[in-house]
Amino acid sequence: MISQIFILSSKGDHLIYKDFRGEAGSDVVSIFYEKVMTLTGDQPPVVMVTHKDLQFIHVRQGGLYWVATTTADSSPFTIIEFLNRLAALVKDYCGSLSEKMVQMNFALIYELLDEVVDYGYIQTTSSDVLKNFIQTEAVSSRPFSLFDISNVGLFGAETQQSIVAPSSAATRPIQSSREQGGKSEIFVDVIERMTIVIGSNGMLMKADVEGEITVKCYMPNCTGNGIFWVVFLSSGYGAAVRVDECSFHQAVRLDEFDSHRILRLCPSQGEQTVMQYQLSDDLPSAPPFRLFPTIERDSGGRLLMYLKLRCDLPPKSCLLLKCVMYVTPVASVFSLSQELSSPDQSAELKPQSRAVVWKVPRFTGGTQLSALFKLDVPGLSSASMQEVGPVGLSFELPKYTATGLQIRFLRLSPVQPGPSQRWVRYVTHSDSYTIRI
Amino acid sequence: MPYLGSEDMVKELRRALSNPNVQSDQLRYRNTILKVIRAMSQGVDVSGLFSEIVKACATVDIVQKKLVYVFLCSYAALNPELSLLVINTLRKDCQDPNPMVRSLALRNMTNLRLSSLVEYVEQPLTAGLRDRAACVRRVAVLGWAKLHNLQPNSEIDATVVNELYSLLRDPDPVVMVNCLRALEEILKEEGGVAINKPIAHHLLNRLKECDVWGQCEVLRILERYRPQSDDELFDILSLLDTSLVSQHPPVMAATLSLFLSLCSALPAVSLSALERVRAPLLAACGSTSRELRFTALCHIQLLLRSVPGLMGAHYKRFFCGYAEPAYIKQRKMQVLVELVNDENVAMLLDELKGYCTDVNTDTAQAAISAIGRIGRSYSDQCLQILTGLLGLKQEHITSAVVQTMRDLVWVCPQCSDTVCLALEGCEENLQDTQGRQALLWLLGVYGERISSAPYVLEVFIDGVRSETSLEVKMELLTATLRLFLCRPAETQDMLGRLLHYCIEEETDMCVRDQALLYYHLLHCGIEETRKVLQGRRSDPSLGVLIGRPVEPISQWAHSFNTLEPLRQGTVTTDSSNKGSPEHVTSDPKPNSDLSDDLKPCQIETVQTASDSASLCTEYSTDALSSSAVAPLSLSLSPALSPEEFERLWLQRQSLHAEQGGEEKEDGDYLCTEECVQCPTIPHCSPQNLQAALQLVNIQTLAFTPPHTLPWRVYLYTHTHSSCSASKPPSTLILGELLYTGEPKEDCSKMVMEGSHEQLTTEGEEAAVDRLRGRESARQQSQTEDVKVTLKQQPRDDKALKGFLSVLTTVLHTLSTETT
């Protein structure tokens, strides 16, 4: 049972406030913000109020605080899942999630809240049901962007890029499909998150992949009878994808899953997760990055770190990479000088977290990068030399799945009237990719 | 936060709202109202516009209607009279052909929260219950709950309640769930909605139709239902089995909660349910939402209290990612500590070692104390890591390491040599109070083994004038005095200086009083001082009881899936326990032990106070529970601390030794030995044994690990008998199980001792010392026997026999289970 819901910006501005049960006044908003601010570091999602028997539960999404007040006996799983779902709904309806978006669409969000929760009880969060009730149109501010016209080549000829949807294509409000002349599109994302720990001896100590297939559907007249199929296979023909555990959305029909790996689904408007899976320890391919560090102390007492980073992916792929290295997390670092292998890379020292951040805008598979960092560390002892590291990589690998899962067909049936576009995207993110030195 | 000039803004808006040109242009009108709502949600007081907004209510534009309702519901309570004007429009809307308009009107009519409007609302609500559109029925059902809460003292309308019960059969699942919710609120006084067999089965059958939120609600309400037979129970359980592994964490958690409440009498079923939820819980631990991750972690900690091995194979899932927030990292470490075993200890320590140098100092300190916890079972590896960390010469790390070492030495005295070596020279890197306090404690207790101890103390004493921390000063006094006892020549001078300063110049009363106490104590003679000051150096519970006792599921089942596990500081497994080492593992102790009480560890005082508080409650619950006893009942309270146990036990032992172990009996004190044939008992896990004994209210205090020889277990309990006046109402039984494993060994001594004091007050407990006699018996026995030595006080043969039969049964049962 939820007593109030409010959305705050990270600066504490009240964006949305809705009281469902009239049990507490709106002053709780300020109380909450004070409490959150006094907590050091990151805040656990439950904060207790002392003066009344109300509890705050909050999640952070899109840089905003999504807060519910509730009683002590309610289920944290339910409330947190609901707040996440609410944020997802707002994102579906507004296109994206940010303070500005929420401010512009507050009427829509009030309307949404009104339908989703009544008297503190969650009624429905299915976008299929909600779309009949929501009347307000989303206001989206899409500033004119050169990116939009970059798809059009010289003299209006289509460039090669046009076979790739712009990455912002899927961040639009679901309702706007109504007036856009029924352009039906479906976006399927295969998103995998990798957690890898590589020991100082180069041994793979831990490898975990968590993946999900999400479908975002903009079908003007898709009211549940449109069925689409997903068939997925591994990259090599015939070889099955191995996953440790998987679970499906309840609307997925699995009649042919065991024999042909076919998922049948009637997607509803908006985003939904069709399948979640995970794979532990035994990855089909080697981890994509290897690091070869050399660390020594030069005559001037400076710490020299020579890093070679190799990418073992197929040569065509390229990716964005941010390499965060915790240099001697125990000693404060004075200054940094660096030699990088190419000019478009950059490196900077973050004194607060005692880390060197090395940014690589483009990294082609099969190649190798190197960097030499010279660090002035006052009072550098041999013991703290041992504590250099770990190196954390954060990256986004497009068109790559660590499990090898791929979608073979995406078929819509019955065939939709008018043109329909189907987009499939594969991304692997690094949840945590740690290399110990 | 109100904007500057909000009054102007309200004026501006009022002018716009009453402008006929605006009113006639629907879009402009709507936009003006939008502005009002925007101002409202930003915190501007726009209640002055109430009458203008009421006029805007009569419109065909649904969006505008919705906006107006948002306004009205916020400010209706301030303007009850004006709100009456709206009611007509709302009632008219309730007749609208469009179901959306009807439900909107109905919902907002009840959301106005005005008791003056109740009479107008009842009729449309009644009609709403029979509306053909499900969305109107949903609203109407909850509307009755709102109405009831508006006038809480009014009588419950039986026809409405009946109608709501019948709507449980509504084809729309949300209406059904809303009916449950509404009935729950309306019938709160009577204990909520009544769940009988047909309703329960109906709900279970329709569970699949509901969405996630509905399922959670239904599952929660079903917890109240008690199946009438085992067959029914198992039917329900198998029906719910798929929800137990649902991919939605809320459903999974609600189902497990229901399982635990249904199977409270069937521990085996509950345990297998816990096994089933392992996979979904682990999946929730890897969720993208960090809040959900945190929740799952907290609940895993609950589960581990009963099934420590549940996640053992999946320990890698609890390794921290470098970008994770500190609160998740710390929880993960707490879980990791629980999962340690022989196979993974190396991996785990290696991982934890990596966290010790985390940039976040809290995380680093939590990691260090996690290593200390593991050190209780794997002391060598951990001490190596801890010593290595001292080499980094970082303040916060050194402080945490010294505190951890202090805690570790208290539990595992065998580590003291390594610790003493490691301590040399680390005082330079200690700045914070807690770290210095820990160092001082170690210097005082192990001063004779740390060569530099007097010099370190001298530095502290020289700087005592500038010392601000009360705790450090008091610890310093104790440490210096303790060191004086073992190294008088080096310490005498500085002790004099310190006492002089503390007595003459110190302004704080506590420090001064303590210094005076020590001063007078020294006057009494060095032996007296030694008696008072040289207390225990280690946890007297033999130091081998590492794992916490396995708790029965019922201990935490009620708090599963509530906010309780998420709150900070409620978790007993907190590895970053900053308190005194003396109390990490000990139970509440009666403060009869003089030497213990005077042991001047200041960090202890707070804890002792809370201990005695909890002791009081223990006594009171004891009194309650003993009022309803069978002829023989065992109970765990008042709790006996390990120190107290040891003292009582050894008293008997020494007397027994004096008299050459022959049988002797005296009226009030009984010691007995018995042999129980249960060969496999020494091989079963301490956890199992402990859990089994706890089921019959026998508390085990200490174990040797399984497979070691000689294998020992110490335990105690209290017997209560209410039936006869002639017998003492309660006796205390102490026991030892011994398995030597040596063949042809006469391993069955039986000693019985007794003393007639009643163990009701602490004073009398102290009087136990004056015990008078005992009895012992010898029997030949076979190799496989476990020797049971029991000491009872005061004597009560009947109770002792009863206890022995209970114990024998438990041991036999366990024995057959292990084979």
Chain A residues in contact with B216 (beta carbon < 8 A):
75, 78
Domain span at B752: 633-817
Based on the fold, state whether residues B740 and B810 are members of the same structural domain: yes
Whether residue B736 sits in one domain with residue B714: yes
**Mean pLDDT, range B554-578, rounded to an integer:** 66
Q: Does any domain span residue B560?
A: no
Rounded to whole angstroms, the Cα distance separating A294 from B514 reads: 57
B621 pLDDT band, cuts 50/70/90, is: very low
How far is the alpha carbon of A310 from chain B, nearest alpha carbon, in Å?
Answer: 21
Q: What is the mean pLDDT of chain B?
A: 77
Give average pLDDT by consecutive 10-residue segment, chain A, 437 residues: 90 88 82 81 66 82 90 89 93 86 88 91 86 77 49 44 50 56 74 87 84 80 57 55 77 77 76 83 81 81 82 72 63 71 79 79 81 78 70 82 80 68 83 82
What pLDDT, in 10s, does the model give residues A124-149? 888 778 877 887 777 766 554 444 44
Distance of alpha carbon A134 from alpha carbon B441, whole angstroms: 67
Share of chain B above pLDDT 90, in %: 21
Q: What is the pLDDT of residue A174?
A: 64
pLDDT tier for residue B63 given thresholds of 50, 70 and 90: confident
Beta strands at A184-198 and A420-435: parallel, antiparallel or unpaired:
parallel
pLDDT in tens, B443-486: 988 888 888 888 889 889 988 888 888 889 999 999 999 999 88
Whole-number pLDDT of residue B689: 74
**B453 and B420, same structural domain?**
no
pLDDT at A168: 55
B734, part of any domain: yes
pLDDT 10s digits, B680-714: 666 666 667 776 777 677 777 777 766 666 777 78
Please state the domain count of chain B.
3
Question: What are the tokens at B403?
Answer: 């505190």
Structural domains of chain A ordered from first start: 2-131 (3.30.450.60), 185-285+400-435 (2.60.40.1170), 289-398 (2.60.40.1170)
CB B225 within 8 A of CB B195: yes
Q: Which of residues 264-283 of B touch A (CB under 8 A)?
A: 279-280, 283
Examine residue B708 and state whether it is found in any structural domain, yes or no. yes
Tell me: do B408 and B463 sit in the same domain: no
Q: Which of A383, A429, A432, A427 is nearest to A406 (CA)?
A: A427
Both tokens of B143, joined, read 């509307």
- Domain end (from B379, B406, B431): B431
Q: What is the pLDDT of residue B222?
A: 93
Same domain, B424 and B448: no
Question: Cα–Cα distance between B793 and B753 in angstroms, integer?
Answer: 7
CB-based contact, B316 to chain A, within 8 Å: yes
Per-residue confidence (pLDDT) for residue B603, from 0 to 100: 35
Among B511, B537, B563, identify where a domain stops.
B537
Question: Strand, coil or helix: what is A118?
Answer: strand
Contact B562 A73 (CB under 8 A): yes
> What phi and psi values does residue B28 have, to the nearest 5 degrees?
-70, -40
pLDDT band at B198 (very low <50, low <70, confident <90, very high): very high
**Does residue B449 sit in the same domain as residue B483?**
yes
Average pLDDT over residues B26-45: 84
Residues 335-364 (B) with a CB less than 8 A from some CB of A: 347, 350-351, 354, 357-360, 362
On whether both B712 and B794 belong to a single domain, the answer is yes
Q: B404, B431, B458: which is the final residue of a domain? A: B431
Which of B563, B564, B570, B574 to probe by mutation at the A interface, max A CB count within 10 Å? B563
Put simply, whether the predicted model's pTM sits higher than 0.80 gets the answer no
Which pLDDT band, with edges at 50, 70 and 90, does B508 fall under?
Answer: confident
User: Do B412 and B485 lie in a common domain?
Assistant: no
Here the CATH number for the domain that contains residue B809 is 3.30.310.10
B100 touches chain A (CB under 8 A): yes
Per-residue confidence (pLDDT) for residue A383, from 0 to 100: 64
With 50 as the cut, is the pLDDT of residue B593 above it?
Answer: no
Residue B257 covered by a domain: no
CA distance A152 to chain B (A): 36
A40, A73, A383 ranked by CB distance to B392: nearest: A383
> Which pair of tokens denotes residue B558?
């009620």
Grade residue B180 by pLDDT with cuts at 50, 70 and 90: very high
Q: What is the pLDDT of residue A392?
A: 84
- pLDDT band, residue B679 (cuts 50/70/90): low
Handedness of CA B300, B306, B308, B310 (dihedral sign): negative
- Helix then strand count (H, E) for chain A reads 8, 24
**Residue A198 CA: distances (Å) to CA of A286, A433, B345, B377, B691:** 11, 8, 18, 27, 40
Mutate to test the interface with B, among A61, A128, A330 (most CBs of B within 10 A): A330
User: Does pLDDT of B6 surpass 50?
Assistant: yes
Are B773 and B662 contained in the same domain?
yes
Residues B647 and B785 in one domain: yes
Closest of B19, B97, B87, B95 to residue B52, by C-alpha? B19
Distance from CA of A100 to the nearest CA of B (A): 13
Whether the pLDDT of residue B164 is over 60: the answer is yes
Q: Is the pLDDT of residue B210 over 70?
A: yes
Question: Once rounded to an integer, what is the mean pLDDT over residues B137-165?
Answer: 89
* Environment class of B361 (CB within 10 Å of its CB; exposed 0-12, middle 13-18, buried 19+): middle
Dihedral sign for Cα atoms in the order A275, A281, A287, A293: positive
Least confident of A50-54, B199-203, B371-375: A50-54
pLDDT confidence bin for B781, thresholds 50/70/90: very low
For chain B positions 197-226, those within 8 Å of chain A (CB to CB) are 211-213, 216-217, 220
Predicted local distance difference test score (pLDDT) of residue B215? 94
Are B393 and B483 part of one and the same domain? no
The distance between the two most distant Cα atoms of chain B, rounded to a whole number of Å, is 112
Token digits of residue B527: 């032996």
Backbone angles phi, psi at A198, to 5 degrees: -110, 130
Distance CA B466, CA B462 (A): 9
Contact A114 B174 (CB under 8 A): no
Q: Is the pLDDT of residue B762 over 50?
A: no
pLDDT band, very low/low/confident/very high, at B204 (cuts 50, 70, 90): very high
Least confident of A219-223, B271-275, B503-507, B706-710: A219-223
The count of C-alpha atoms lying within 13 angstroms of the C-alpha of A178, restricted to the half-sphere facing its C-beta, is 12
Cβ neighbours for B769, distance < 8 A, ≥ 6 positions apart: B651
Percent of chain B with pLDDT over 70: 76
Residue A173 dihedral angles phi and psi, to the nearest 5°: -65, 140
Residue B656 and residue B768 share a domain: yes
Neighbours of B424 (CB within 10 A): 13
Residue B159's H or E segment, with its range, is: helix B158-167
pLDDT at B763: 41
* Range scoring the smallest mean pLDDT among B27-41, B420-434, B770-784: B770-784
Both tokens of B139, joined, read 């609203």
Give domain status of residue B63, yes or no.
no
Residue B320 pLDDT? 87
> Are the C-beta atoms of residues A73 and A1 closer than 8 Å to each other?
no
Instruction: Convert the pLDDT of each residue in B214-252 to its tens digit.
Output: 999 999 999 989 998 989 999 999 999 988 988 889 999
Residue B579, pLDDT score = 39
Q: What are phi and psi of A229, to 5 degrees?
A: -115, 145
Q: Which of A373-377, B67-71, B312-316 has the lowest mean pLDDT?
A: A373-377
